[in-house]
Amino acid sequence: MDETSHLDRAARATPPRIARRIQGLSDRTIAWIFVAPSIFLLLAVNIFPLIWTIRLSFTNYRVNRPNNAVEWVGLENYQRILSDEDVWQTMQATAHFLIWTIVLQVLIGFALAYLINKKFKGNDLWTTIIVFPMMLSPAVVGNFWTFLYQPQIGLFNYVVAFFTGADPASFSMIGDVNLAPWAIVIADTWMWTPFVMLICLAGLRSIPESIYEAAECDRASKWRQFWTITVPMVLPFLMLAVLFRGIENFKMFDMVVQLTGGGPGNTTTLTSIDLKREAFERWRTGYSSAYAVILFVTVFGLASIYVKALNKVKER
């Protein structure tokens, strides 16, 4: 059935009353009618708040002080943020969290996908079990891991104690400034590795079997096949997983708040937690708007560079 017959059928199916109304409208107008609601929603929900946030970021506005005069402060908010040591400390905490979660999730996720891709009995059952953590709410995972990390009753401490011989109550994952940054990395890795695994699995299953057969004919070793066929062909998928996890973890909030509350001290205060405190606890609306704009530009800039790199890899 060709395209013309589809159009004919659509025209015949249009009720006469509506057909009369749209008679004489150009294709372009009709296209705009269909697209307009989406554009309106996009402008109302995304673009307008963004512009409004940028405008507020140049003021001293505080939403809890409706009676105070709103003054234009220029770049002062931006200067204060970028010269604030505490903000840089939260940036460092975020970078630590971001880098290590991505590294661990990619390595473990790819390894799991590679194993699951092998045909064995109970393959589907294991896949279901492995993906279970990512079906939970991050807030629930945060709460759940606070119990696992409990020095007196926590399973995590007992497992570590079992292998190291240390007293389970002798260390506190979420109460120690050195261990707490790793506590949130471990919990996030537990939760989101399955997501990376699923993406890698899709990549592995998209590789045609014939390529491996050809490589076998050329007497390529398994090791060589892995590095010259599997890794390059899964790489775009892996990079996509890294992009998703990077963006998600840059704005990580709920799990970490439940797990550590940003402590001890500020060791696990990620930028999103800091931003929330500025905006909805300290009520520095202008300041927090500038903070949000800086984060937006950072994520948007990094993501754009990364997407370009991803496209290059795909083109290869």
Partner 1 sequence: MKKLLLAGTACNAIMILGAGASQAEELTLCWAAWDPANALVELSTDFEEQSGHTMNFEFVPWPNFADRMLNELNSGGQLCDLMIGDSQWIGGGAENGHYIKLNDFFEAEGIDMADFIPATVTGYAEWPKGTPNYYALPAFGDVVGWTYRKDWFERPEIQEAFQEEYGRELAVPASLDELKDIAAFFQGREIDGNTVYGAAIYTERGSEGITMGVTNVLYNYGFQYENPDEPYDMEGFVNSEGAVEGLEFYKELYEVGTPPGSSNWYMGENIDAYKSGQVALQMNFAFIWPGVEADPNVGGGASGYFANPPGPAGQFAQLGGQGISVVSYSDKQDAALEYIKWFAQPEIQARWWELGGYSALRAVVEDPGFAESQPYAQTFLDSMAIVKDFWAEPAYADLLLAMQDRVHNYVIAGDGTAQEALDGLVEDWVEIFEYEGKL
Interface with partner 1 (CB under 8 A): 63-67, 149-152, 154, 169-172, 174-177, 257, 260-267, 277, 280-283
Buried b (16+ CB within 10 A) or exposed e, 81-102: beeeeebeebbebbebbbebbb
193 or 271: whose CB is closer to partner 1?
Answer: 271
174 or 241: whose CB is closer to partner 1?
Answer: 174
246 or 263: whose CB is closer to partner 1?
Answer: 263
Work out how close the CB of 292 gets to partner 1 at its nearest, in angstroms, rounded to a whole number: 17
64 or 137: whose CB is closer to partner 1?
Answer: 64
Contact present, 293 and 54 (Cβ < 8 Å): yes
Work out how close the CB of 98 gets to partner 1 at its nearest, in angstroms, rounded to a whole number: 21
Work out how close the CB of 262 gets to partner 1 at its nearest, in angstroms, rounded to a whole number: 6
131 or 139: whose CB is closer to partner 1?
Answer: 139
94 or 230: whose CB is closer to partner 1?
Answer: 94
Helices 271-280 and 85-116 meet at what angle, rounded to 10? 130
Work out how close the CB of 175 gets to partner 1 at its nearest, in angstroms, rounded to a whole number: 3
112 or 273: whose CB is closer to partner 1?
Answer: 273
67 or 210: whose CB is closer to partner 1?
Answer: 67
* Cα distances (Å, whole numbers) of residue 272 to 60, 206, 293: 21, 36, 12
Rounded to an integer, what distance in angstroms lies between the CA atom of residue 135 and that of residue 138?
A: 9
Work out how close the CB of 294 gets to partner 1 at its nearest, in angstroms, rounded to a whole number: 20
First CA to last CA distance, the chain: 37
Work out how close the CB of 174 gets to partner 1 at its nearest, in angstroms, rounded to a whole number: 7
Work out how close the CB of 279 gets to partner 1 at its nearest, in angstroms, rounded to a whole number: 11
Work out how close the CB of 86 gets to partner 1 at its nearest, in angstroms, rounded to a whole number: 8
